[in-house]
Amino acid sequence: MTAESGVAPSELRRDVSVWGSYMWGYADVGADIYTALGIVALAALGFTPLAFLFAGLVYALVGLGYAELASAYPVAGGGQYYTLRGIGDLAGFMAGAALLLDYTIDISLFMVVSFGYFNFFLPYVTFGHHISDYTIALGPIHLAWLWLAETLAGILVLIWLNVRGIRVSSAFNEILGVVAIVGQSIIVVAGFVLVWQPGLVAQQFMLNRPTLGQFAFGSSLAIISFVGLESISQVAQETRRPATIIPRTSIGLILSVLIFAMAFAVLAMGMIPAQGFRGHEGDPVALIAGHIPLIGIVAAPLTALIGGLIVFISANSGVVSASRLTYSMSQFQLLPRWFNAVHKKYRTPMRTIVVFSGVAIVQTLFAFFTPGKAGSNAAIDLLTNLYAFGATTGYLLVFAALMVLRFRDPYTPRPYKMPFNVPIRVGARVVEFPILGIVGMLGVSTILFEVILTHDVGRIAGPGWIIVAVLLYMLHRRRQRMPLVGNIPRDWEATQMRVLLEAEEYESLEEYEQALAERDAPK
């Protein structure tokens, strides 16, 4: 690849179908409620549904923005690529670093939670021993050594799956995802029909109100229930007919995840007092299921199984997204080209899969060896503190890139556009300014402010990650004799034509070439 070419021809196979694209998103986003519900309820108390609603509306706007950008620019890299394309190299790298923090935390956090659910069955295979029996005290550290070993083994399995190829990984997501959706639906319907009390919801809303600070903390945690939509765009370069598939799957994902998240939040407040989730931060959905009469005796093990599976596939999506993101960053010389290589047999970015899954392993070790509450609760607390920071920082830059690209690149066909646009004349062309883009940007900015204001670990470790990453970026650029804060010259038009050709989006390619010809025609 040359500096002027923009991006090398894709070596990634297009093996992701419409259902596979949806499941990549659902595997990542749909699992988040299994982790977030308990910690949000303890923070937002009776206002828990409102915290999820606010975060969910922001998530819907983020999803619409990604649907537009991913269908117009079907390239691995997602938000990092859009920010690079619209704003420049340094901003693109910062977006990539923020999202990479999310993906590596995704691998670590959800693998921890996955085995938290699977360990429900531990007493049945160890003659009555619970996971707490496999914890040792090392001074102020309560090390759940078995849980840690399970988590590390799970990450190694995901490395193997993803090196083998995205078709194997996608099929894995699709099968387990269907099981998870069916299980969630059973729990929600049974809960509302058999045990839900609207009076308890009203009582908690009126008498169990959080302070403003508590609600800010709760709503900032609620955003982690909707983190992961980016994963659809990460596999855009491996998706068949992305201009058609991605908008459909993104909108379908927005609706389905929002419905499930709100359903669980409202159901929880009508079944259990918010403080009842204390001690169940790691398995809140299992707690709900266990309170459902008639099916409660089977609901708890069913939920443990479903929860473990769906959270496991969310960790799998984190591996895919982290590897595709860094693969894209290396293509654009934001990272060393060493990361750009693919496996000769499986055509997968093996180096990025191994390296950044390795980062997740380090994060897991750091979390488990953090002094605090016993077992994995300390690990979950630490990892969730960092999760929201990476997402909101990346999403903020993506919204900025969306608006900039509307003006800088009005020629690229957009098979889908965010609704509610205001036409603005720029020279000889009319550009549609996205009103919802501004609204989304304000919403994400609010949540980012809440994260920095209320998260003790997030406001230090999150910016610290970005600062260290930027320093390494500048060191890399200096060694390659590239501008530290400036941009490498790139032929974005040739890049876009190649991307559309490889995606077999021939209509969009023809429309793009015609728009460029009209622009360059003698006046």
Structure token digits, residue 250: 């993104």
- Residue 307: which of 35, 40, 512, 99 has the closest Cα? 35
Q: Model confidence over 415-446: pLDDT tens digits? A: 899 999 999 887 777 889 999 999 999 999 99
Q: Measured between alpha carbons, how far is residue 133 from residues 63, 147, 362, 424 in Å?
A: 43, 11, 24, 65
CA distance 262 to 272: 16
Residues 6+ apart with CB under 8 A from 386: 101, 105, 457, 458, 461, 462, 465
**Beta strand pairing call for 141-144 and 429-434:** unpaired
The full set of domains in the chain, from first to last, is 18-117+150-187+219-370+395-445+464-520 (1.20.1740.10)
Structure token digits, residue 441: 């940007």
- Residue 452: which of 386, 370, 518, 377 has the closest Cα? 386
- Residue 61: which of 233, 261, 258 has the closest Cα? 258
Q: Give yes or no for residue 245 having a pLDDT over 70.
A: yes
Q: Write down the pLDDT at residue 3.
A: 41
Q: Model confidence over 475-523: pLDDT tens digits? A: 999 999 999 888 999 999 998 998 888 877 888 899 999 999 988 888 6
Q: Give yes or no for residue 65 having a pLDDT over 60.
A: yes
More confident residue, 347 or 207: 207
CA distance 70 to 92: 15
pLDDT confidence bin for 19, thresholds 50/70/90? low
- Residue 85: which of 506, 517, 496, 519 has the closest Cα? 496
Q: Model confidence over 205-229: pLDDT tens digits? A: 999 999 998 999 889 888 877 766 6
3 state DSSP class of 381? helix
Burial class of residue 240 in the structure, from the number of CB atoms within 10 Å of its CB (0-12 exposed, 13-18 middle, 19+ buried): middle
SS3 letters across 84-130: HHHCCHHHHHHHHHHHHHHHHHHHHHHHHHHHHHHHHHHHHHCCCCC
3 state DSSP class of 282? coil
| Distance in angstroms between the alpha carbons of the first and the last residue of the chain | 35
CA distance 518 to 167: 41
Q: Using only the alpha carbons of the chain, give its radius of gyration.
A: 23
More confident residue, 156 or 311: 156
Across 149-176, average pLDDT: 78
pTM of the complete model: 0.83
CA distance 231 to 116: 24
Q: Give yes or no for residue 455 having a pLDDT over 90.
A: no
Q: Write down the pLDDT at residue 409.
A: 92
- Residue 504: which of 74, 6, 68, 11 has the closest Cα? 74
Whether residue 238 contacts residue 348, with contact meaning beta carbons closer than 8 Å, is answered with no
Whether residue 100 contacts residue 322, with contact meaning beta carbons closer than 8 Å, is answered with yes
Ranges 28-37, 115-124, 230-239, 355-364: which has the least confidence: 230-239
pLDDT confidence bin for 257, thresholds 50/70/90? confident
Q: Write down the pLDDT at residue 2.
A: 43
3 state DSSP class of 417? coil
Q: Write down the pLDDT at residue 372.
A: 62
Report DSSP letters for 175-193, one per residue.
HHHHHHHHHHHHHHHHHHH
